[in-house]
Structure 1
Amino acid sequence: MVIAENERKLQQVLNVYDEILSKNEYLAGDEFTLADLSHLPDSQYLVSSERGMKLFTSRKNVARWFDQISSRKAWEQVVKMQMEHPGAFE
């Protein structure tokens, strides 16, 4: 019940993001900012599951945005370090 309730809340937020991202490349406009960067860790965790991935991919603009921000070279290096050294960042 708690999971379903929070998933509904997240869906509502992602719906708002999808609307914002239909008009902007990024959350705060057309440049990558801290608003986008701050979403990477939690988003990366969410999309690691099929259920979480579907929350993102079912929204065209959110999917495009996450693909853009998560494919930045610096973020890819962080993910690589986490995979090479599990538990080191906990």
Structure 2
Amino acid sequence: MALLLTAVSGAGLVTNKDCVLYRVGRSASNPDTVYVTEGWTTKEAHAANFASPRSQALVAELAPLVTGEAQYQDEVPVGGKLNAGVVS
């Protein structure tokens, strides 16, 4: 989890203006299961950010811990609540 949270600190990978949501959560029933939810201004902004050498290095470091397939959705928010800032 700590490695995932480095993305939001300092000059982390998701601190740019195109990342509008980056949430790391843990399963209540299985503490070994971690969820990451991201929201980007555009699909292209997401692709550009994660094509960088820094992003590729982080992905390579996380790869041994990942199981299953990523699920991509083209969701457009219509309401709700998001508190600004970093939660640790």
**What TM-score results when the alignment is normalised by the length of structure 1?**
0.31
Q: Which has the higher contact order (CA 8 A, sep 6+)?
A: 1
More helix by share: 1
| Greater percentage in strand | 2
